[in-house]
Chain A
Amino acid sequence: MKKILSLTLAALLVLSLFSGCSVNDGRITINVYNWGQYISEGDDGCIDVIAEFEKAYPNIRVNYVTFDSNETMYTKMSNGGITVDVIIPSDYMVGRLIEEDMLLPLNFENIPNFEYVDARWKNPDYDPENLYSIPYSWGTVGIIYNSKYVDEADVTGWELLWNEKYADKILMFDNSRDAFGITQCLLGYSLNTTDPAELEACAEKLKEQKPVVQQYIMDQVFDLMENEEAWIAPYYAGDYLTMSDENEALEFYLPEGQGFNRFVDAMCIPKCAQEKEAAELFINFLCDPEIAGGNMDWICYSTPISAAKEFMDPEVVESEISYPSDEVLDRGTGYLALPVETTRLMEELFMAVRNGL
C-alpha cells in the first residue's frame, strides 16, 4: 500500500522533474545526478565536460541534475519512482547504497579507463571488491577562514567553530554526517562511532555551537565566504581553492593534532537506471585522463587518476591543499557506511539540533 502511494506520488514528481527528457530526437537520455558546482561546464576557459561527451557520443543526451548533500540525494532516491542513471555520492553513502541493494554492479568492459585509477583508490573500504563504484574525486574537510578578521592565535583546531569571539560569522555544515564528523574529531571519538552515548554528546556539542552559528549551509558557502559575510566555515578542500581565487584573504587548514575527514566521491549506477550502458560510457568518459584533468582544473578537487595531472594546471597539482603529503593524509579518516540505527539516530539528533528541540 505504502509503495503504491509513494509510487504514484513519485511518478507525479518525476514527471515534473525530468519533463525535459521526453524530447524524442532519436537520442537516448541519461540522467546524471551530482553535487552542485561539481562538474566543469565551460566557465573560466575550462572544458565543458557534458558538451564534450555529447559531442563524442552524438546519440546520447545528458540531463544533469544536482543535489546539495548525500542525505538529500538519498531521500530522493529512496522515495522511489525516480530515473537516474549516474550518481556521484560520497564514500559512506556508496557503502549504504550497496548495503541496501540500491546499486547495479558495473560492467568494467565498458569502462576500460578504470585502469587509470591509482591503486590507492581502488578497492576502497566502502566497496571492497570495487564492483559498484569508480572514484570521481577525493579531498579533505578542513576549516576555511578569512585572515583579515580571524586572529592567527585562534587558528588551532576545530574549536575555532565554537569561538564566541566570531559569533554570527561562523558557518556550519547542513548535513548530519559532516556536522557530526567535526564534533567527533573535536571530542576525540571515531568518525565511524556507533555508540549512542557518543552521538548524544556530539549533539549536545552542536547545540552548544548553535548560538554562534550564522547559518547552516552547503553550496551557499561560496558566496558567503567570498563576500566576507561569514569569516569561518568548515568545508571541502577543493572548494576552498575555488573560493581563494575570488578572495585572496581566505586561508585553509587541517586542524593540528585532531582528526579530519578524508573523503572520496564515487560514480555509481543506481538500480533505477534505464540506460546502463550509456551511463557506463559516461563514467568511462569522466575517467579519461584528459577529461578528468580538465574537469578537476575547474572543480579543484583532487583526482584519483594521476595520469590526469599532466593535463592540469601545475599550480593545482603542486598545491599542498589538493594533494597533501601521505603523512598528513594518514591523519584523516574515511567515513564508512553506518548501521541503519546509527544513521537514523544521527539524523534525528541533527534534526533536533536544527529544529531547536
Chain B
Amino acid sequence: MKKNNSLLLSAPYILFMIVFTLIPLGVVGYYALTDVDTGRFTWENVQNLVLYLPAFWRSILYSLISSLICLLIGYPVAYFIAHRGPVMQKFLYMLVMLPMCMSFLLRTLAWVGLLQDTGIINNLLDSIGLARLPLIRTPAAVILGMVYNYLPYMILPLYAIIVKIDNRLIEAAEDLGCTPAQTFVKVVLPLSMPGILSGMTMVFVPAVSTFYISQKLGSTDVVLIGDIIERFFKQGNNANMGAALSLLLMILVFVCTGIINRFGGTDEEGAVIV
C-alpha cells in the first residue's frame, strides 16, 4: 500500500522526466542515426564525428581550466562566507546569487563592452596615456568569461558543504597538535570534498557545452563544440549532424563527471549534489 502511494506521488515527476528528458533524448538519438535528406538509418553522422574531435578536446580543456580556476577562487570565498555570522552569511550568499538574476547573455556582452579594443578598459588606458591592450579575442578572455559566468555554481555547493562541517572536528584536530595547515589538509579539505566535486561538475558541465562565450570573447579560431552544434541547427540545416555531436558531447560529459567523481572515491559521505 505504502509503495503504491509513493509511486502515485512521484508520478508527476516521472511523467515530466519521460516527456521532457527521455523522449527528447530518444529523438536526439534518432536524428543522430538518420540521414539528413532521406531520413534513413546511417552511421555517417557518427563517423563524421572524428572531424570534430579537436573542438571537443578544446572544449574540455577550456572548461577544465575554468573549473579549476573557479575552484581556486571559489573555495576561499565559500570558506569565508561559511565562517561569518548568520546575518552576514545570508547577505554574502545573496551577493553571490545576485549576478545570476541577470541574463547570462547580457553578462557576457558586458564583458565585451569592457574588454574590446574600443571598450571601457582600453579607453581608460588610452586616456591616461598607456597603450591599448589586446584583451578580447584571446583564449584568456574565453576562460575569463566562463569563470565569471559559472563561479556562483562553484561557490554555492562548496558553501553548503563547508557550513555543515562540525567545528568540533577542527578543534579536536588542533587539540591533537595539528598545525592550521595540517588541520586544513587532513580535516577540512577531505570533509569539503563532496562540495568540491559537485562544484567542479556544476561548472564543467555548462562550460563544456557553452556556445555564446567563445563567439563573443574568443577569436575566430577558438571554436568550441557548443558553437558547432548551434551552427548545425541554426545555419547548417543539418539537425542530424548536430544531434550526433550533441550525443557525443553528452557521453563525454558523463564520462568526465564520472572521472571527477571517481576522485572522491565512494566515501561514506558520498553526497555529491548533482
Contacts and interface: CB of A to CB of B under 8 A. Distances in A.
A347 B221 contact: no
B79 interface: no
A72 B234 contact: yes
Given A2-B34, A75-B237, A227-B118, A214 B231 contact: no
B48 to A, nearest CB: 10
A71 B237 contact: yes
8 contacts: A2-B34, A168-B137, A168-B219, A176-B235, A211-B221, A355-B227, A355-B228, A356-B54
B270 interface: no
Contacts, number: 63
Task: Using C-beta atoms within 8 Å of the partner chain, give the interface range for chain A.
Answer: 20 to 34
B30 interface: yes
Contacts of B232: 351
A175 interface: yes
Contact of A351 (B30, B34, B235): B235
B55 interface: yes
B235 A347 contact: yes
Contacts of B258: none
B261 interface: no
Contacts of A355: 52, 55, 223, 227-228, 231
B2 to A, nearest CB: 37
Contacts of B99: none
Contacts of A79: 239
A210 B237 contact: no
Given A75-B235, A228-B118, A347-B236, A354 B223 contact: yes
Contacts of B231: 351, 354-355
B51 interface: yes
A5 B27 contact: yes
Contact of A214 (B137, B234, B236): B137
B222 to A, nearest CB: 9
B49 to A, nearest CB: 12
B198 interface: no
B67 interface: no
Contacts of A354: 223, 231
Nearest to B31: A5
A213 interface: yes
A72 B220 CA distance: 20
Interface in A124-169: 168
Interface string B91-104: 00000000000000
B30 A356 contact: no
A31 interface: no
Interface in B161-199: none
Interface in B99-156: 116-118, 134, 137
B76 interface: no
A249 to B, nearest CB: 13
Interface of A: 1-2, 5, 9, 69, 71-72, 74-75, 78-79, 168, 174-176, 210-211, 213-216, 227-229, 347-348, 351, 354-357
A78 B237 contact: yes
Contacts of B30: 5
Contacts of A69: 235
A210 B221 contact: yes
A176 to B, nearest CB: 8
A17 to B, nearest CB: 14
A72 B231 CA distance: 10
Contacts of B39: 1-2
A176 B234 CA distance: 13
A311 B31 CA distance: 52
Contacts of A228: 118
A56 to B, nearest CB: 35
Interface string B225-269: 001100111111111000000000000000000000000000000
Given A5-B30, A72-B234, A215-B220, 4 more contacts: A69-B235, A75-B235, A351-B235, A356-B55
Q: Which of B117, B134, B233 has the most CB of A within 10 A?
A: B117
B220 A210 contact: yes
B236 A351 contact: yes
A229 B55 contact: no
Nearest to B222: A356
A75 B27 contact: no
Contacts of B235: 69, 71-72, 75, 174-176, 347, 351
Given A229-B118, A355-B231, A347 B237 contact: yes
B107 to A, nearest CB: 17
B9 to A, nearest CB: 27
A219 to B, nearest CB: 14
A357 B51 contact: yes
Nearest to B216: A215
A37 B232 CA distance: 25
A357 to B, nearest CB: 6
Contacts of B27: 5, 9
B270 to A, nearest CB: 37
A216 B134 CA distance: 19
Given A228-B118, A354-B231, A213 B220 contact: yes
Contacts of A74: 237
Cβ-closest 5 pairs across A and B = A2-B39, A75-B237, A356-B223, A229-B118, A355-B228
A349 to B, nearest CB: 11
A163 B238 CA distance: 33
Nearest to A209: B220
A343 B232 CA distance: 15
A205 to B, nearest CB: 15
Contacts of A78: 237
A208 B27 CA distance: 38
Contacts of B117: 229
A229 B237 contact: no
